[in-house]
Structure 1
């Protein structure tokens, strides 16, 4: 990637429109269920830009990163090179730079603004208890070390300037909030909405606590991410974002969340979330609000899936060089199922890769290992591989009582049975005259026919 990528969300939308991958909706749309309904009905199609949202002057954009091809395009790489690109980014660092001003601060709304009146935040599903910000990149600093943390968590509007943030206990943001609470103080946060693809994907990379995700964003962009200082909190935010909320959260302020949607497409009941307040909102002069359809929807699943793939691929290739690729499937909700592609693994290596992947990413619970003659994104080929190469008495791993993520739809007391399937060839399989020799048409005949296919 020689030319740095654009750092603005609107540049990404312009790119999609030039490609014919942006659909403008000019009909007035209600943010209560209509936006979610239309994003769901068009979940695999072009990005959707709602130009007229009832009750707010801001347009809303969604379904922007709803395919691997779309993610790759907006990151400036081919779809085939995306997995390796993201894996390599984990080993690179390009720290951000602070600039004096940026378009995200062209307009200022301070003194605890009424968020519901200012922003077109959708109400997504019928049993949720309020509208949720779903594409807000949250920036915070460790109150002990000062190290930056960048992540995404759902944010419910609770009236006026009040918010509730739904954060898992092991989420780095929750760890920072609890540190602040132990120091008898709140945790300053800034929420960046309307971000380029590099910021969104970079925020999802599995880094260690204390590692700065904005360093990885710079590597994705090909140049340092430009940040501006917030007006009311000691944080810096992407200068070319559309909207920024400045405020704090307080781990001592526990707010009941009740019913909320999750990536698996079911409602979840997590109990209490973390309360907070927004004191200032800055925006571009004509901002575009970015939304990600939550639940079991492609964009929601994929932005997590590609990050999990990268961290697994990096780990596995470092230990087992014959690993070629890791795919976290959409059918597995972008979190729970993975396919590991291997080149002639030695006996025991496939089982080792499966166990390592499950240990690295707590969410993974069903993992299949296949050979590199199988397309991991083609469910028919993966199923064929299981039918042709899997021996139930030798190739099945059943690991009961493993730690589960709280979001797993069938966990019991935060444990789950994890299952691995080895669907790889044995040494000697596929050799001439063997039981597993695949039928083939002569390669030269196929190549000639392919070149002249339109004549037949």
Structure 2
């Protein structure tokens, strides 16, 4: 087991996150009354960048709501204790060096206990987000379940609509691991116990999004992100473990034999979709801190929602590509590509054909990707102007364009036809023969020594 690189008593609580935001000046307190039905979400949408928003006066509820917590790479990096430039490698290191969790006996998340009958709408200030959605949705709930056959854990996020009392509807795709576990339980004649943790350390939210194999424990990756074992506590009514540092936990079960129509719901591209029925379930117990905060993530095409998916996709994709193409340095999933569909692959002096190979492998690894640009490592993938410069300076349409019609698409792609799309790749890299053919491959610069001297002394000019 890898040796933890940080003290085991590192603050893993959501309360610690709040304190860190406050110290950094990254927390804005909204003190006027705000209605959780549409108004709260509208404020988050109009303030999607900048400080996290803490709503202390939510109409009809004593519990505050916080949102826009992880709405930039810089914020996520800071909350994970690193810098923006090293965030990508920190996530890759967590995938490569996972640390298993530990269980503790007592946790503040169980200071207050509500047992059946539970009324979620009364207990929690769950926002209703968009005009045509059919109810309020829990959007930052980390769902924990176990394989009913193997007992192996799965940790993920899915949207949960509250449907009155303790009833919930979980909206998940057929290939989602949580759905596969629910189907396993159905075939055994069982419902699937779940626990939903709300108000989590950013490492828990980010770790839950990793594209791991069924049976791999996302809590191990969370430990890698923390540099120490994630502390868990046992639930009171279901055989599951949840982050001890969470603010709220819902305990219950979902039943794949209980389909519930969802209706129109927002997706990461910003449009409504209609996926059909989700899985029904019941929450029988709610526990929380005495001073609990309800954490929400604005759904749809919003920075926090898109970025959580993007960071996970790019790390898993980069890890897979590096195994077979050592020249790969980084994968960036772009904001404009909704954190899902477009990527930039950075390579170091790729050999002829390696850029195209990287494009095809990336699209095969991540089904969502449909537009990929390959650049060299003298280009900053986070700077859209540099990426466009690379296309203008190095891309040859007749030789460097990859077009793959009729490729399998995800059901959430906004332009798929019968679950297929045309996928496109562009290789914008220098070739070894560019100089011989009159290409522009050498940058015009002053002598290296002068450049280094002036750069070191630039503040004095």
* TM-score for both structures, normalised by structure 1: 0.97
**CA-to-aligned-CA distance 1:183-222 (integer Å, 9 cap, x gap):** 1110000000000011111111111100111111112222
- What SS is found at the alignment partner of 1:82? helix
- What SS is found at the alignment partner of 1:264? coil
Match of 1:420 in 2: 425
Cα distance in structure 1, aligned partners of 2:367 and 2:244: 34
Q: 1:84 to 1:431 in 2, by over 3 A?
A: farther
Q: How does 1:285-304 map to 2 (within 5 A)?
A: 285-304=290-309
Q: 1:22 aligns with which of 18, 27, 31?
A: 27
RMSD: 1.6
Residue 405 of structure 1 pairs with residue 410 of structure 2: yes
Q: 1:303 to 1:430 in 2, by over 3 A?
A: farther
Contact 1:429 1:437 in 2 (8 A): no
Q: How does 1:60-75 map to 2 (within 5 A)?
A: 60-75=65-80
Q: How does 1:233-312 map to 2 (within 5 A)?
A: 233-312=238-317
Cα distance in structure 1, aligned partners of 2:42 and 2:6: 40
Contact 1:71 1:197 in 2 (8 A): yes
Contact 2:99 2:224 in 1 (8 A): yes
**CA-to-aligned-CA distance 1:12-40 (integer Å, 9 cap, x gap):** 11111101111111111111111111111
Match of 2:49 in 1: 44
Name structure 2 gaps, 5 residues minimum: none
Cα distance in structure 2, aligned partners of 1:309 and 1:176: 26
Match of 1:88 in 2: 93
Contact 2:64 2:294 in 1 (8 A): yes
- What SS is found at the alignment partner of 2:216? coil
Name structure 1 gaps, 5 residues minimum: none
Cα distance in structure 1, aligned partners of 2:329 and 2:57: 46
Q: 1:390 to 1:128 in 2, by over 3 A?
A: same
* Total equivalences in the alignment: 456
Contact 1:6 1:221 in 2 (8 A): no
Q: 1:211 to 1:434 in 2, by over 3 A?
A: closer
How many Å apart are 1:454 and its aligned residue? 5.0
Match of 1:137 in 2: 142
Match of 1:186 in 2: 191
How many Å apart are 1:449 and its aligned residue? 4.3
Q: 1:171 aligns with which of 171, 176, 192?
A: 176
- What SS is found at the alignment partner of 2:432? coil
Match of 1:208 in 2: 213
Contact 1:36 1:293 in 2 (8 A): yes
Contact 2:163 2:169 in 1 (8 A): yes
Q: 1:346 aligns with which of 351, 362, 366?
A: 351
Cα distance in structure 2, aligned partners of 1:108 and 1:406: 39
- What SS is found at the alignment partner of 2:280? strand
Q: 1:358 aligns with which of 358, 363, 367?
A: 363
Match of 1:122 in 2: 127
Cα distance in structure 2, aligned partners of 1:326 and 1:248: 37
Q: 1:158 aligns with which of 155, 163, 169?
A: 163
How many Å apart are 1:450 and its aligned residue? 4.3
How many Å apart are 1:440 and its aligned residue? 2.2
**CA-to-aligned-CA distance 1:130-170 (integer Å, 9 cap, x gap):** 11000000000000101010000000011111100000000
How many Å apart are 1:443 and its aligned residue? 4.2
Q: 1:430 to 1:280 in 2, by over 3 A?
A: farther
Q: 1:234 to 1:386 in 2, by over 3 A?
A: same
Match of 1:58 in 2: 63
Contact 2:93 2:224 in 1 (8 A): no
Contact 1:431 1:437 in 2 (8 A): no
